[in-house]
């Protein structure tokens, strides 16, 4: 791995391979994925649905659904490998070390508990010996951090608007002072204005609290607005990885190029939209060698025989493609 | 004076006059009243024809018939209108712009709020959710018209009211020159052939127990085949099984589900989201409609296939010359496909203009805020813009005056008391804001 990747890494993922066991075999959701996140850095993971982005998030916290297994690889967080860790020790990492803002602000909260109590619960579970007065005070402070009136802690989730629920979820994720925050599609299902407010809040928090972040999204524009580094995933593999500016300015992998073109920019001339023809592959039997070869416009013979490895093309920009 | 026979029950309807609207060569519209007995051509059987040109002898001008509707003499709005006496049908004049396929005037949809007994008895005020509150526009042939706004702005409700899938609470809807605002379901049925919808979620809009062939064939079975009979009148005919299958296959290849034989007998669950949405598009276009509402047709689809479906719809619209109302919250997408964009906020139209004008040079502060909130796929342009605060207020009790004033950075005193009208600020660019009036 190139030296720039490992510098000051808070989280280092090496060859992570997560599969789901189903009756017909193993679904190869994530294969041989490596990346790192430094202190105070934001990494964006982009790709279509089914590319394995959410599985990575669940693997990092070891909260995979039934049937999901980490079959290989290391997740080194703050010096310890999380993969072989006992469940009891893992619980100490969750929320205090790594926490997550789940997708779907509308449904991620329990409708029969007050918002303040739900945030307080996260503190109570993850910290020993806190008094209820302490919790109350900290919940008020958390709500203030995300821009919600602290008196609203006594409201139920249905009394909150969509944007406020999203903010409350962020407050909940911050409850135990984590060092790494994962956002799983934090902007989708929100209106543009509320989405922009949420993204701005996340950026502010990152700068103010020195948080590291992993943003998972299918929307490249959201990643462009919030992240320093980008990993593009296709069918369970990272196909391109590097700093945001060089990936957006100079996308190398044909899949990245297609994905960027598929997003109409609000700036610039009116154009006919372009798309990536074909469908994402079946992960039970992924195509051999390069998994993108059936949809690739530049496909060559070698793409069907040999798997391309991630190679550094220029400083801080790696790509897995035989074209380079 | 003609007195219509009473329909089933209720009062007999008195028809004293007909209200007509003609579009002229310079783009202006004239309206007036005619007596129902006026004949427009030598053939006595022939009545007014939508989109045909007539010489209005009283004004010595040629106009294209945009709409005609029966009105009663006692109507207060008829009092001010001029009356025309003499007409003559003339050959089609291509210089006169075509009649709008759909036009709506001051359309409203209020949903009454459910209230308890106590409130019903003791509170005089009626509470309504003002989902659509006085919107007017017209849609010309082959036009792609985008309706954009936040959720809760009323765009989906407006789409449904346009198709009469829900009834309106006020205003009027003209479809192909006919006032369809108060037509009965039975009278609407033949018109349904001409108006179709594509829903947002292809996982819910297709019947899971029907095969693809039946899904696409259903409109054909319900409506039959439109053709012209021996007397030269439009008629419908039931289609035979083979004919239907032929038509379904043709439609499947038009939406690029090829070879069609492979898809005919599949169930929706055997297809991906993109393929399902193609089926929904095929179903909407199979009757060759002249008007389609597409309600966020790609927002549930994966990014890499959105463009394919959008391009497919644009191509079909161009080919069939249908008009389409494209409802979307994605302004970037709307800009690239639509001819015109209308921005809705709390049931009111805030801005209306060509897609370039609205997106590249927005006038209304709300449009400006919406556009600056759209994320841009360029990591170097980040962190510079202002985001307006707050969320859309409740449509039950919308703010007085301009509805946007609670969030508007330029709000002044006038905005809180007086509601701005939609005015034409530059050619074909309308905005409802006191900053421009």
pLDDT per position as a tens digit, B32-53: 888 877 766 555 456 778 888 8
How far lies B63's CA from each of B23, B89, B213, in Å?
Answer: 5, 10, 45
Determine whether the interchain pair A193/B151 forms a contact, defined as Cβ–Cβ distance below 8 Å: no
B164 and B58 in a common domain: no
Orientation of helix B212-223 relative to helix B273-285, angle to 10°: 20
The encoded tokens of residue B83 equal 């009356």
In a domain, B240, yes or no: yes
Where do the H-state alpha helices sit in B7-154? 117-122
B180 contacts: CB under 8 Å, gap ≥ 6: B164, B173, B174, B188, B191
- Segment B265-278 shows an average pLDDT of 91
> How many contacts does A have with B, using Cβ atoms within 8 A?
127
Looking at residue B265, what is its pLDDT?
Answer: 94
- Which CATH number is B177's domain given? 3.40.50.300
- Segment B43-72 shows an average pLDDT of 79
Looking at residue B75, what is its pLDDT?
Answer: 64
Identify the residue among B273, B304, B344 best suited for mutation to test binding to A, counting A beta carbons within 10 A and taking the highest: B304
Orientation of helix A132-145 relative to helix A115-126, angle to 10°: 120
Domain stop point among B90, B111, B143? B90
Alpha-carbon distance of B112 to B94, in angstroms, equals 46
pLDDT bin (cut points 50, 70, 90) of residue B268 is very high
With CA atoms as reference, the chain A residue closest to B391 would be: A194
Residue B92 near residue B23 (C-beta atoms within 8 A): no
Query: For B138-156, b where at least 16 C-beta lie within 10 A, e where not — what string?
Result: bbbebbbbbbbbbebbbbb
Determine whether the interchain pair B375/A199 forms a contact, defined as Cβ–Cβ distance below 8 Å: yes
Does the structure show a pLDDT above 70 at A81? Answer: yes
Domain stop point among B24, B55, B90? B90
With CA atoms as reference, the chain B residue closest to A221 would be: B377
Determine whether the interchain pair A266/B331 forms a contact, defined as Cβ–Cβ distance below 8 Å: yes
Closest-CA distance of chain B to residue A250, Å: 11
Count of beta carbons in the 10 Å neighbourhood of residue B28: 9
Contacts of A272 in chain B (CB under 8 A): 311, 336
The 10s digit of each residue's pLDDT in B196-222 is 999 988 888 999 999 999 999 999 999
Determine whether the interchain pair A225/B379 forms a contact, defined as Cβ–Cβ distance below 8 Å: yes
pLDDT bin (cut points 50, 70, 90) of residue B10 is very low
B265 and B121 in a common domain: yes
B193 and B316 in a common domain: yes
Give the single-character DSSP code of B83: B
Hey, is B98 helix, strand or coil?
coil
Looking at residue B42, what is its pLDDT?
Answer: 52
Sign of the Cα pseudo-torsion (B22, B26, B28, B30, in order): negative
Determine whether the interchain pair A218/B379 forms a contact, defined as Cβ–Cβ distance below 8 Å: no
Alpha-carbon distance of B176 to B49, in angstroms, equals 10
pLDDT bin (cut points 50, 70, 90) of residue B83 is confident
Q: Name the percent of chain B lying above pLDDT 90.
A: 42
Does the structure show a pLDDT above 80 at A155? Answer: yes
- Segment A82-100 shows an average pLDDT of 91
Phi-psi region for residue B59, left (φ > 0), alpha (ψ -120 to 50) or beta? alpha
Contacts of B391 in chain A (CB under 8 A): 161-163, 191, 193-194
Stretch (H or E) spanning A77 = strand A68-77
CATH no., domain A3-38+47-88+181-188+213-319: 3.40.50.300
B164 and B264 in a common domain: yes
If you count them, how many residues does chain A have?
A: 324
Looking at residue B388, what is its pLDDT?
Answer: 80
- Segment B411-419 shows an average pLDDT of 90
The 10s digit of each residue's pLDDT in A307-319 is 898 888 888 899 9
Alpha-carbon distance of A165 to A252, in angstroms, equals 38
Looking at residue B364, what is its pLDDT?
Answer: 94
Closest-CA distance of chain A to residue B118, Å: 24
Determine whether the interchain pair A272/B329 forms a contact, defined as Cβ–Cβ distance below 8 Å: no
With CA atoms as reference, the chain B residue closest to A194 would be: B391
Chain B residues whose C-beta sits inside 8 Å of any chain A C-beta = 150-151, 272, 274, 302-308, 310-311, 329, 331-333, 335-337, 355-356, 359, 369-380, 382-383, 385, 387-389, 391-392
Does the structure show a pLDDT above 70 at B9? Answer: no
The 10s digit of each residue's pLDDT in B224-266 is 887 777 776 777 888 889 999 999 999 999 999 989 999 999 9
pLDDT bin (cut points 50, 70, 90) of residue A8 is low
The 10s digit of each residue's pLDDT in A178-210 is 999 999 888 777 788 888 888 888 888 888 888
Alpha-carbon distance of B41 to A320, in angstroms, equals 74
Determine whether the interchain pair A48/B303 forms a contact, defined as Cβ–Cβ distance below 8 Å: yes
Contacts of B404 in chain A (CB under 8 A): none
Does the structure show a pLDDT above 50 at B1? Answer: no
pLDDT bin (cut points 50, 70, 90) of residue B349 is very high
Here the ipTM equals 0.81
Interface of A with B in 220-239 (CB under 8 A): 220-222, 224-227
Determine whether the interchain pair A266/B332 forms a contact, defined as Cβ–Cβ distance below 8 Å: yes
Identify the residue among A41, A256, A275, A283 best suited for mutation to test binding to B, counting B beta carbons within 10 A and taking the highest: A275
Average pLDDT score, chain B:
85
- Segment B277-298 shows an average pLDDT of 93
Alpha-carbon distance of B163 to A293, in angstroms, equals 44
Determine whether the interchain pair A192/B333 forms a contact, defined as Cβ–Cβ distance below 8 Å: no
How far lies B256's CA from each of A317, B21, B199, B337, in Å?
Answer: 37, 42, 19, 20
Q: Domain containing B369: what range?
A: 354-377+384-436
pLDDT bin (cut points 50, 70, 90) of residue B6 is very low
Contacts of A271 in chain B (CB under 8 A): 336
* Of the candidate ranges A151-165, B50-64, B119-133, the one whose mean pLDDT is the lowest: B119-133
B251 and B183 in a common domain: yes
User: For chain B, how many structural domains are there in total?
Assistant: 3
Looking at residue B5, what is its pLDDT?
Answer: 47
B242 and B310 in a common domain: yes
Domain edges within chain A: 3-38+47-88+181-188+213-319
B62 and B194 in a common domain: no
Rounded to the nearest 10°, the torsion over CA A48, A52, A55, A57 is: -70
B199 and B156 in a common domain: yes
Name which of B151, B336, B373 is nearest A264 (Cβ-Cβ).
B336
Contacts of A242 in chain B (CB under 8 A): none
Contacts of A246 in chain B (CB under 8 A): none
**Rg from Cα positions in chain A:** 20
Interface of A with B in 30-49 (CB under 8 A): 48-49
In a domain, B109, yes or no: yes
Does the structure show a pLDDT above 60 at A6? Answer: no
In a domain, B187, yes or no: yes
Contacts of A193 in chain B (CB under 8 A): 150, 369-370, 373, 387-388, 391
Name which of A221, A264, A276 is nearest B304 (Cβ-Cβ).
A276
B178 and B142 in a common domain: yes
B107 and B82 in a common domain: no
Interface of A with B in 61-120 (CB under 8 A): none
In a domain, B347, yes or no: no
Residue A163 near residue A190 (C-beta atoms within 8 A): yes
If you count them, how many residues does chain B have?
A: 437
Name which of A187, A194, A266 is nearest B391 (Cβ-Cβ).
A194
Stretch (H or E) spanning A118 = helix A115-126
Contacts of A218 in chain B (CB under 8 A): 302-303
B362 and B252 in a common domain: no
* Of the candidate ranges A4-18, A37-51, B314-328, the one whose mean pLDDT is the lowest: A4-18
Contacts of A274 in chain B (CB under 8 A): 307
The encoded tokens of residue B345 equal 């906020």
In a domain, B265, yes or no: yes
Residue B155 near residue B392 (C-beta atoms within 8 A): no
Looking at residue A105, what is its pLDDT?
Answer: 66
Residue B337 near residue A272 (C-beta atoms within 8 A): no
Looking at residue B40, what is its pLDDT?
Answer: 65
In a domain, B348, yes or no: no
Q: At CA B167, angle to CA B165 and CA B170, rounded to 5?
A: 140
B365 and B218 in a common domain: no
Closest-CA distance of chain B to residue A194, Å: 7
The 10s digit of each residue's pLDDT in B352-387 is 999 999 999 999 999 998 888 888 888 777 555 667
Alpha-carbon distance of B355 to B334, in angstroms, equals 7
pLDDT bin (cut points 50, 70, 90) of residue B108 is very high
């Amino acid at each position: 791995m190139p030296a720039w990747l490992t510098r000051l890494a808070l989280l280092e993922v090496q060859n992570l391979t997560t599969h789901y066991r189903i009756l017909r075999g193993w679904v190869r959701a994530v294969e041989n994925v490596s990346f790192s996140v430094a202190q105070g850095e934001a990494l964006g993971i982009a790709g279509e649905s089914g590319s394995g982005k959410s599985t990575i998030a669940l693997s990092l916290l070891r909260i995979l659904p039934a049937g999901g297994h980490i079959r290989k690889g290391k997740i080194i967080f703050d010096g310890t490998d999380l993969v072989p860790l006992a469940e009891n020790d893992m619980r100490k990492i969750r929320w205090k070390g790594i926490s997550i803002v789940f997708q779907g602000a509308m449904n991620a909260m329990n409708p029969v508990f007050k918002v303040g109590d739900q945030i307080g619960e996260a503190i109570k579970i993850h910290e020993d010996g806190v008094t209820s007065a302490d919790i109350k005070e900290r919940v008020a402070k958390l709500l203030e951090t995300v821009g919600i009136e602290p008196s609203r802690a006594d409201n139920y989730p249905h009394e909150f608007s969509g944007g406020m629920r999203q903010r409350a979820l962020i407050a909940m994720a911050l409850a135990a002072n984590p060092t790494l925050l994962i956002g799983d599609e934090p902007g989708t299902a929100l209106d543009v204005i509320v989405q922009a407010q949420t993204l701005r809040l996340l950026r502010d928090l990152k700068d103010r609290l020195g948080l590291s972040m992993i943003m998972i999204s299918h929307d490249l524009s959201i990643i462009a607005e919030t992240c320093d580094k980008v990993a593009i995933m296709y069918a369970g593999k990272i196909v391109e990885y590097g700093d945001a500016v060089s990936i957006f300015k100079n996308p190398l992998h044909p899949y990245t190029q297609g994905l960027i073109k598929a997003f109409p920019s609000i700036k610039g001339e009116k154009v006919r939209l372009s798309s990536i023809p074909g469908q994402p592959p079946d992960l039970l039997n992924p195509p051999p060698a390069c998994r993108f070869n059936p949809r690739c416009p530049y496909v060559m013979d070698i793409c069907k025989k040999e798997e391309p490895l991630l190679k550094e093309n220029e400083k801080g920009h790696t790509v897995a493609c035989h074209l380079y | 004076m003609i007195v219509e026979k009473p329909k089933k029950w209720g009062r007999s309807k008195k028809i004293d006059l007909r209200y007509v609207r003609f579009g002229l060569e310079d783009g202006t519209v004239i309206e007036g009243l005619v007596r129902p007995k006026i004949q427009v051509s030598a053939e006595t059987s022939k009545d007014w024809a939508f989109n045909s040109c007539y010489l209005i002898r009283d004004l010595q001008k040629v106009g294209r018939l945009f709409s005609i509707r029966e009105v009663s003499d006692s109507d207060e709005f008829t009092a001010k209108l001029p009356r025309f006496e003499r007409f003559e049908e003339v050959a089609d004049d291509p210089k006169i712009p075509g009649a709008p396929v759909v036009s709506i005037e001051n359309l409203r949809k209020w949903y009454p709020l459910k209230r308890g007994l106590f409130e019903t008895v003791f509170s005089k005020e009626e509470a309504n959710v003002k989902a659509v509150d006085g919107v007017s526009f017209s849609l010309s042939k082959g036009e792609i018209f985008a309706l954009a706004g936040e959720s809760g702005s009323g765009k989906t409700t407006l789409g449904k009211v346009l198709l009469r899938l829900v009834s309106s609470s006020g205003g009027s809807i003209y479809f192909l020159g006919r006032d369809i605002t108060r037509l009965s379901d039975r009278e609407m049925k033949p018109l349904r052939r001409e108006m179709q919808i594509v829903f947002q979620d292809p996982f819910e809009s297709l019947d899971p127990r029907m095969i693809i062939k039946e899904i696409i064939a259903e409109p054909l079975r319900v409506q039959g085949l439109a053709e012209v009979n021996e007397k030269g009148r439009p008629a419908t005919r039931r289609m035979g099984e083979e004919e239907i299958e032929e038509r379904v296959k043709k439609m499947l290849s038009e939406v690029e589900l090829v070879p069609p034989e492979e898809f005919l007998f599949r169930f929706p669950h055997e297809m991906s989201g993109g393929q399902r949405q193609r089926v929904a598009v095929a179903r909407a276009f199979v009757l060759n409609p002249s008007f389609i509402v597409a309600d966020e047709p790609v927002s549930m689809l994966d990014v890499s296939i959105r463009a394919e479906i959008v391009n497919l719809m644009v191509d079909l619209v161009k080919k069939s010359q249908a008009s389409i109302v494209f409802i979307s919250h994605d302004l970037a997408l709307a800009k690239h496909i639509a001819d015109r964009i209308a921005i809705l906020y709390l049931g009111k139209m805030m801005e209306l203009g060509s897609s370039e004008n609205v997106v590249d040079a927005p006038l209304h502060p709300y449009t400006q805020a919406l556009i600056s909130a759209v994320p841009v796929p360029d990591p170097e342009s980040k962190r510079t813009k202002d985001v307006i605060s707050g969320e859309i207020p409740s449509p039950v009790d919308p703010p007085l005056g301009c509805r946007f004033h609670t969030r508007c950075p330029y709000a002044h005193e006038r905005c809180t008391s007086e509601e701005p009208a939609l005015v034409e600020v530059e050619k074909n660019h309308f905005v409802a804001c006191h900053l421009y009036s």
